[in-house]
Amino acid sequence: MTDTAPSPSLLDLAPVIPVVVIDDAADAVPMARALVAGGLPAIEVTFRTPAAADAIRAIAAEVPEAIVGAGTVLNPGHVDTAVAAGSRFLVSPGWTDRLLGAMRDSGIPSLPGVSTTSEVVALLERGVTEMKFFPAEAAGGTAYLGSLASPLPDARFCPTGGVNAARAPGYLALPNVGCVGGTWMLPADAVAAGDWARVESLAREAAALR
């Protein structure tokens, strides 16, 4: 009998999860390859554009080293679309019991979003210990999130929203933060120009934050 090692937590794959807003699905594969080459394998493609599902599908099919997921998941329909496209994780900016149920029923890891202590407690009550903290900077930043560590030690977070290269180390130093989400390794001009070497370089810097 062979023991199977448990899968690593999504929060432990890399210090940063790139948050991708993609307008042209043709960019998905070279972008994903650049991010993976730079050391950021977990990639969140947000449902903010019509190209999202096609982008997820392309990355899942052509970049097997990537762990592609869907972000801005707002309803059970998004969950179904994400799973059908090949998503390996789900991220939402907030949650309801209906959305949480659909995310759980999907059978893949998820990070429901929270921004208040009560929301964190409610998820802990439902057995959820890994969450997205959003919008991180607007909701209180490192001071707020750090203050949750002692009273709510079982909760771990991926803060996203206003997190950049300068702010990320402060979040990553907190005991209840596993990783952060951000877009700074995907500057709009680099993506527009197809400058994937620059994206890879920025990804490598982000991967070295911890």
- Please give the positions annotated as active site: 44, 132
List Cβ neighbours of 143 (8 Å cut-off, separation of 6 or more): none
Burial 135-162 (b: 16+ CB within 10 A, else e): bbbebbbbebbbebeeebeebbbbbbbe
User: Any residues with CB less than 8 A from the CB of 100 and at least 6 apart, and which?
Assistant: 112, 123, 126, 128
CB-CB contact of 88 with 68 (8 Å): yes
Contact 88, 75 (CB under 8 A): no
Give me the residues paired with residue 67 across strands.
Answer: 42
